[in-house]
């Protein structure tokens, strides 16, 4: 009898992580989705993550509380203004105030602990180094370094059953990601990208994340289902 | 005016991390101690960490709550029996049930987030690969891999202000560590090593950690101040 392989997927509820979740499922893995409640001010993310996990279908969806806001300084955790109306050139070239120091490293490390505990050797992350906010921890060289580190940190690594860190979107444009997601049946109206939504969770339309989202739907030739308030 | 450099020290309240704290202070750093409340059943650790931080003196001591028990399977978080009365040969050669998957990677990652936020480029960990419980994430090759990963994960790494991960005890025996600690004025009666203390926080004397502790005091020729109940 063939046993279905388990994979951990980091799921924020945005376009990239939702598409990664659908890709992982499409590859035949039994999916364990991991979402972090880390004090992000755009709390609507968590609702989107729940809806996405339900729509795409997972074996388990764990929301892990992590009080990063206690530790770091970032506009995403409420320490300063979210940048708005920036040009695409600036978005792609500067590290903005929305950067949360070491976030993907913390998220992947916790995912690794869970993976080792449930007997999974595959961790998927929706990191993307094309249409992204310039965060250092979204680059392929970081993903490679983490994989090396993961295999030295763990019992499974020592035993030679290597853990693989997959970043299937790393070289895709936002348009290509959206096309892939639609092809896999994702309802993107459930996804959330905005860094600064209103109290009803509606997207601002002008933060870096909304700007990249709009560009992506346009490139993909797919109607943007987002209800922007601005 | 010379500004005192800040360092993060991972502090559990045991012999190794307390000695590391004293070494870091002795090097002239302004010390930010980070302790994890991760669901360890030996909760007496947290009290020891607080007393140690106070005795040695730190700029800040942060206790960070992390619900690892929700995620991992380990006898340290209550999932099985703590091994007792094992021989030194077994202790040093096998990965025991007290192993918490990926623990040091998670701890160092969170330390890195804090470091970057407070402008620190130095993280100290009391990892030791001589008299230790066989955990993979205490080996020098893991520490090196983490440092590489840290510098790819962060803004400071990109800017060329490299973060250094220091493991000053990595090649010391438990006896040498205790001698060093005593030399730096540590009151080891405040430290806690036992994996399975009684309800008053008294050490069992027979778990791997107590066995290594006893061996260390003997080697150092220092009277063991611990009140073992067994």
The total of other beta-carbon atoms located within 10 Å of residue A46's CB is 17
What local confidence, expressed as pLDDT, does residue B158 receive? 73
C-alpha B12/C-alpha B48 separation (Å) is 8
What local confidence, expressed as pLDDT, does residue B137 receive? 84
Q: Are B25 and B57 in contact (CB under 8 A)?
A: yes
C-alpha B206/C-alpha A14 separation (Å) is 50
Q: Which helix (H) or strand (E) holds B60?
A: strand B60-65
| B6-220: CATH architecture | 3-Layer(aba) Sandwich (3.40)
Cβ burial A148-179 (10 Å sphere, 16+ → b, else e): bbbbbbbbbbeeeeebebbbbbbebbbbbbbb
Q: B140-153 and B103-118 helices cross at what angle (nearest 10)? A: 40
What local confidence, expressed as pLDDT, does residue A155 receive? 80
Query: Does B36 or A132 have the greater pLDDT score?
Result: B36
Q: Which residues of B touch A158 (CB under 8 A)?
A: 95, 136
Residue of B126, B165, B128 whose CA lies nearest to B149: B165
Q: Which residues of B touch A101 (CB under 8 A)?
A: 112-113, 116-117, 154-155
3-state secondary structure of A33: strand
DSSP-assigned letter for residue A37: E
> Which of B35, B94, B105 is most worth mutating to test chain A (most A CB atoms within 10 A of its CB)?
B105
User: Which residue in the set A70, A149, A154 is minimally distant from B149, CB to CB?
Assistant: A149
User: Which residue in the set B117, B136, B153 is minimally distant from A154, CB to CB?
Assistant: B136
Query: Does B176 or B98 have the greater pLDDT score?
Result: B176
Q: Where are the beta strands (DSSP E) in chain A?
A: 6-10, 30-37, 60-65, 122-124, 164-166
What local confidence, expressed as pLDDT, does residue B2 receive? 65
Query: Residue B44: is its pLDDT beyond 90?
Result: no
Residue contact B136–A117, C-beta within 8 A: no
In terms of Cβ atoms closer than 10 Å to its own Cβ (0-12, 13-18, 19+), residue B41 is middle
Q: Which helix (H) or strand (E) holds B31?
A: strand B30-37
Q: Which helix (H) or strand (E) holds B35?
A: strand B30-37
What local confidence, expressed as pLDDT, does residue B67 receive? 85
Q: Locate the chain B residue with the closest alpha carbon to A71.
A: B114
> Which of B33, B40, B66, B101 is most worth mutating to test chain A (most A CB atoms within 10 A of its CB)?
B101
Q: Which residues of A touch B40 (CB under 8 A)?
A: none
> Strand A60-65 vs strand B6-10: parallel, antiparallel, or unpaired?
unpaired
Q: Are A99 and A74 in contact (CB under 8 A)?
A: yes
User: Which residue in the set A64, A102, A146 is minimally distant from B112, CB to CB?
Assistant: A102
Q: Which residues of A touch B150 (CB under 8 A)?
A: 102, 105
A105 and B CB contact within 8 Å: yes
What local confidence, expressed as pLDDT, does residue A193 receive? 87
Q: Are B9 and B40 in contact (CB under 8 A)?
A: no
What is the residue-level pLDDT of chain A in tens, covering all 230 positions? 567 899 999 999 999 999 999 999 999 999 999 999 987 766 788 999 999 999 999 999 999 998 887 787 666 777 777 778 788 777 777 777 777 778 899 999 999 999 988 999 999 999 988 877 678 888 899 999 999 999 998 887 777 788 999 999 999 999 999 999 999 999 999 998 888 888 888 999 998 889 989 999 999 999 999 989 87
Q: Half-sphere exposure of residue B75, counting CA atoms within 13 Å on the CB side?
A: 15
Lowest mean pLDDT among A38-42, B6-10, B193-197: A38-42
Cβ burial A57-69 (10 Å sphere, 16+ → b, else e): ebeebbebebebb
C-alpha B74/C-alpha B188 separation (Å) is 27
C-alpha B219/C-alpha B225 separation (Å) is 14
SS (H, E, C) A144-162: HHHHHHHHHHCHHHHCCCC
Residue contact A136–B149, C-beta within 8 A: no
Q: How far is B225 from chain A (nearest CA, A)?
A: 33
């Amino acid at each position: 009898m063939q046993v279905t392989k388990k994979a951990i997927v980091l799921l924020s509820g945005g376009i990239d992580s939702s598409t990664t979740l659908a890709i992982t499922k499409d590859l035949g893995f039994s999916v364990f989705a991991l979402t972090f409640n880390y004090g992000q001010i755009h709390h609507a993310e968590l609702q989107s993550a729940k809806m996405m996990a339900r729509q795409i279908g997972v074996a388990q969806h764990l929301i892990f509380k992590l009080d990063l806001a206690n530790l770091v300084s970032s506009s995403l955790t409420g320490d300063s203004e979210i940048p708005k109306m920036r040009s695409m050139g600036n978005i792609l070239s500067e590290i903005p105030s929305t950067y949360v120091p070491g976030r993907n490293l913390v998220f992947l490390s916790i995912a690794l602990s869970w993976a080792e505990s449930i007997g999974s050797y595959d961790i998927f992350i929706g990191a993307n180094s094309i249409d992204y906010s310039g965060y250092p921890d979204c680059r392929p060289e970081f993903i490679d370094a983490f994989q090396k580190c993961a295999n030295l940190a763990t019992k499974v690594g020592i035993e030679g059953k290597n853990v693989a860190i997959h970043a299937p979107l790393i070289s895709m444009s936002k348009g290509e990601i959206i096309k892939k997601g639609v092809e896999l049946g994702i309802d993107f109206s459930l996804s959330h990208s905005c860094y600064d939504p209103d109290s009803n969770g509606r997207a601002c339309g002008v933060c870096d994340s909304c700007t990249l989202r709009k560009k992506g739907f346009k490139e993909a030739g797919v109607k943007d289902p987002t209800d922007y308030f601005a």
